[in-house]
Structure 1
Amino acid sequence: MKNNLKVGVIAWLTASLLITGSALTTAGTVSAAVKPIEIVMNNAFVDTDIAPYITNGTTMVPLQVAQKIPGISVQWNNQSKTVTIIRGSETITLVAGQKTAKVGNKEVKLEAASNLKQGRVMVPLRFIAESTQSYVLWNAKQRIVFVAKASEELKDQFNSTILSEARTAALKYPVVSSLKSFDVVNESQGQMYYFPEGRADQFFLSGGNGISYYEITGDYCLQKWSATFNSVKASSGLFFFPQKITNQDGTIPKLTDRVVFYNFMGPIGAASYGFIETSGEIITLGQKGMKLGEIFEIPEETK
């Protein structure tokens, strides 16, 4: 499952991290082992040789994790026990055991001091990530810390006046989520993409028996709703998706305009596409070759 995230395309997230079950309790069990904290940085799990832990509400991680935050360099001076972080012209320093840090010439209070554990330098992840303008979100339901920061190149693509380029960029944005996980099975190698007509900053992904809704916000993509469904026809609250919802978390969005759909079929490398009217009427316009997560232009769409 984790390897899917390293593809860097949000399409695979639907069938892996964000709505894949990872239940830790079973019926009749009073308690279960606490799930280890995991770190997801720009859609990729980060391996750690020392398990992250929480102290004073702050997640502490090995220095090697902080070194993977995009756009910075991190150094450790063993003699002075100092962590130095460089981002552009700005320098941030932390000294092991001290609950203050310096951002340039400004002293900043830390919730938890960096320290040494089992021969590893442990540092406060949120402070370092946010000091370097990354977004951090703690998912208490899955015990995952998300760190996200879209590259300037990706942001430029997302801001393109060509809608297909903007949508393709949106699908590559780093995802954060505070939602639960659900069991999803997708054996078809297919993926449904739904976009409100003329937009790239809002979209749905559906694969197997799972569906999720996402919005681009600043430098990251926020998963706002996820659900599982079955084959029974029923009102889901979405005019384009008449399936019975079996589990859900988050807030289901309210759409007032028709949506564009792409039905990607992995085995043949193509997608059927068209519109779904607010009445539920499906208008299929054709079929075209397509790669996973690479959206093409629909001439009939109102921009």
Structure 2
Amino acid sequence: MKKLVLFSFAVLCSSLLILPTNEAAAAVQSLKRTQVVVNNNDLDSKDILNKNNQVFFSLTSLKGLGDLTFAWNNTTKQATVKGSDTNLQLTMNNKVAQKNGSPVSLSTAPFIQNGKTMIPLRFVAEALDGSVTWNQKTQTAFVSKPSTKLLTDVKSSALSTARNAAINLPRVSQLTEDFKPIMEASSLQYYFPENTHDRFIEVNNNVIRYYKITKNTAYLKWQAFISEKTTTQDNLYFINRAFIKENGSLPNFKDTTFANFRWMPHITSTGYGLITKENWNDVVFKQAELPQTNLKENYIIVDIPEEK
């Protein structure tokens, strides 16, 4: 057993992914800064294109949506995407695609750009049973499709299993800004209100975020930058630094008992314990080394025996 000191750095245009035509200036800017996030993975800018006020991305970017295979027929100029229960065929410069043998219409035909097959983001994501959320303020499209395992695990009666699924579900933000840490931390901290799995706080270096799970998606509800200035927080009592800037809305947690987990990838270990406003700075954290199977799935939350 080892005492661990708490680390002090301890969404919507949903019907159509089309930029408002009456905001020409914003549309011009978006050509440079549109972002696409597929199941929590940021796409490279070269895989994203705005054309005629619609977002396209490269065909192979779909790999983040699950176990998919891709094929290209150069004779017919046809791209095929196959999943466990979906067969999607798209022909270049043709607004009619085939899904499981049936014709479906596209708002804009796919095309080749710089050697890449570019496809309408919303159509392809939803044709593969995913969802797309557009954040106009940050010019970000979130493409989400939880795996079958995550959908099962998030409903598990085993609290650690449900929590692991929660931190790995697709994340979406409808906040007005996107706070990025100065660098990825050597450890991550997670805080779940005692005996819950549907909301959590994550601390990554100098950024703290609060997420709420709704319909199998982790929605970012609040975020803040953590400064170097020492202070006492009344609500998030376990953070002993001042917040430089906040964005969003945070519930009242000042009297909440938290299940606290500190994931340390360099030693493949998770420190854990229950904390309260009275004891958070004196808690003796236990450590659990994680098997490789957990690491592969990013299942780094463990059971806390004292949590009943």
TM-score range, shorter chain: 0.7 to 0.9
Partner AA of 2:204 in structure 1: G
SS class of match (2:250): coil
Equivalent position of 1:182 in the other structure:
179
TM normalised by structure 1 equals: 0.72
Q: Does 1:118 align with 2:114?
A: yes
CA–CA distance in structure 2, aligned partners of residues 226 and 258 of structure 1 = 19
- Which residues of 2 match residues 137-216 of structure 1 at below 5 A? 137-179=133-175, 180-182=177-179, 184-185=181-182, 189-216=186-213
SS at match of 1:64: helix
Q: Is the 1:182–1:247 Cα contact (8 Å) retained in structure 2?
A: no
Check 1:63–1:242 CA distance in 2 against 1; reply closer, same or farther (3 A cut).
same
1:59 aligns with 2:55: yes
Structure 1 Cα separation of the partners of residues 217 and 262 of structure 2? 24
Contact 2:270/2:300 (8 A) holds in 1: no
Q: Which structure dedicates a bigger proportion of its chain to helix?
A: 2
Alignment of 1:1-303 (within 5 A): 35-47=32-44, 50-104=46-100, 107-179=103-175, 180-182=177-179, 184-185=181-182, 189-230=186-227, 231-233=229-231, 237-238=235-236, 241=239, 244-255=242-253, 258-262=256-260, 264=262, 266=264, 269=269, 271=271, 273-276=273-276, 280-282=277-279, 286-290=284-288, 294-302=300-308
Cα deviation for residue 274 of structure 1 reads: 1.6
5+ long unaligned stretches in structure 2: 1-8, 11-27, 290-297
8 Å Cα contact 2:272-2:302 kept in structure 1: no
| Aligned-partner SS, 1:286 | coil
Report sequence identity in percent. 29
1:188 Cα deviation from its structure 2 partner: 7.0
Secondary structure, in 3 states, of the residue corresponding to 1:181?
coil
Q: Is the 8 A contact 1:66 1:125 kept in 2?
A: no
Aligned Cα root-mean-square deviation (Å):
3.6
Cα contact 1:196–1:257 (8 A) shared by 2: no
Q: How has the CA–CA distance of structure 1 residues 288 and 67 changed in structure 2, closer, same or farther, with 3 Å as cutoff? A: closer
Aligned length: 270
Q: CA deviation at 1:254?
A: 4.2
The answer to whether the Cα contact below 8 Å between 1:158 and 1:167 also exists between their aligned partners in 2 is yes
- Quick one: distance in 1 between partners of 2:263 and 2:110? 49
1:77 Cα deviation (Å)?
A: 2.5
Q: How far apart, CA to CA, are the structure 2 residues paired with 1:137 and 1:217?
A: 14
Question: Any idea what the Cα deviations from partners look like across 1:128-150, whole Å, max 9, x if unmatched?
Answer: 11111223233445444332322
- Aligned partners of 1:211 and 1:97: how far apart in 2? 45
Q: Distance in 1 between matches of 2:34 and 2:76?
A: 29
Instruction: Tell me the TM-score normalised to structure 2 length.
Output: 0.71
User: Relative to 1, partners in 2 of residues 1:47 and 1:221: Cα closer, same or farther, differing over 3 Å?
Assistant: same
**Structure 2 counterpart of 1:252, which letter?**
L
